[in-house]
Amino acid sequence: MWKVFAFLLLCVCGAYARVSAGDIRYFLWNGRANREELRINQYGNNIDRNAPVKILIHGWTESIDSFWYGGARTAYVGTGANVIAIDWSRHAQLTYPTAVGRLSDIGEFIAQFINGLVNSQGISINDVHLVGHSLGAHLSGFTGKALRNNFRTTLGRISGLDPAGPSFTTSLSRNRLDSSDAARVDTILTDAGLSGLGINRSLGHVNFWPNGGSAVQPGCLYYPCSHNRAPRFFNEGITSRRFVARRCGSYSNYNLGLCRLNPQNLLGEFTDFSTTGDFYLSTRRTSPFAQG
């Protein structure tokens, strides 16, 4: 009899669970693999165990066809890294509040995926780097929290690309991306403020405020161009060391030259996490964006 109950319980919970493991899909690119689908505890034979793992997480309304995945993938594969692009469109394409409410559950599954990956491949968790845009930045944070809470392990790095503002402006650290979610957390803010899609807060150890960090970013004509500038800058910074930023109190002080002698940092892959704080820089209007 108890078996029947257990079976019914599983069916009922399964049917009503908001998020299940198969909803989230993982695709691998590197020197050997080209869009190979991986699953939790099914990692295939193509992961390069001697290379870092870069995990891309898109934002609201997006999918594996996200506008910035191609550029990030090409740049990182060129450096020899493993790139795993996540598709969470099954939930990302629901209403904004619904998607926000599911981030924690989705993060638990991505954490399971990462924990299985590092254990089966003998890769250091410190070499795992999540790059998330908008809601994907907060989803990266929830993944880091789940790795810590469920597996007692600390993710290497999160790059939060214009972390979403709506619903998060006044959130406590447990409900959003936070610097405690990985050993190293950097953010790039390009649409900060109440009328923007990005958050106006320094959530990372190192926070970059290109052109002041809010709309309208140089060269932007159409909404949501400013919000989407963060991944475009980051993609260029995967291989470029020309996004030189200065620690400063504000963009106006930066422009007045008051921070010229302050410590510098590099937006993109080569960020120095021993120099923390808020960093300002100006960019060009079109690609290549770095001024050098």
Ligand X SMILES: *[C@@H]1O[C@H](CO)[C@@H](O)[C@H](O)[C@H]1NC(C)=O
Catalytic residue IDs: 134, 162, 227
192 binds ligand X (CB under 6 A): yes
| Among positions 71, 166, 193, 218, the unique one binding ligand X when judged by CB under 6 A | 193
Q: In the stretch 203-222, what mask flags binding to ligand X with x, by CB under 6 A?
A: -----------x--------
- What's the closest the beta carbon of residue 162 comes to ligand X, in angstroms? 12
| Among positions 119, 121, 153, 200, the unique one binding ligand X when judged by CB under 6 A | 200
HSE-CB at 279 with a 13 A cutoff on CA atoms is: 27
Interatomic CA distance for residues 200 and 198, integer angstroms: 7
- What's the closest the beta carbon of residue 215 comes to ligand X, in angstroms? 8
Neighbours of 221 (CB within 10 A): 6
- What's the closest the beta carbon of residue 212 comes to ligand X, in angstroms? 8
For strand 244-247 and strand 277-281, is the pairing parallel, antiparallel, or unpaired? antiparallel
Q: How many residues bind ligand X (CB under 6 A)?
A: 5
Residues 214-273 that bind ligand X (CB under 6 A): 214
Q: Which two tokens stand for residue 128?
A: 């795992």
> 192 or 203: whose CB is closer to ligand X?
192
Residues 4-63 that bind ligand X (CB under 6 A): none
Residue nearest to ligand X (CB): 193
- What's the closest the beta carbon of residue 93 comes to ligand X, in angstroms? 28
Interatomic CA distance for residues 129 and 185, integer angstroms: 10
Binding-site ranges for ligand X (CB under 6 A): 192-194, 200, 214
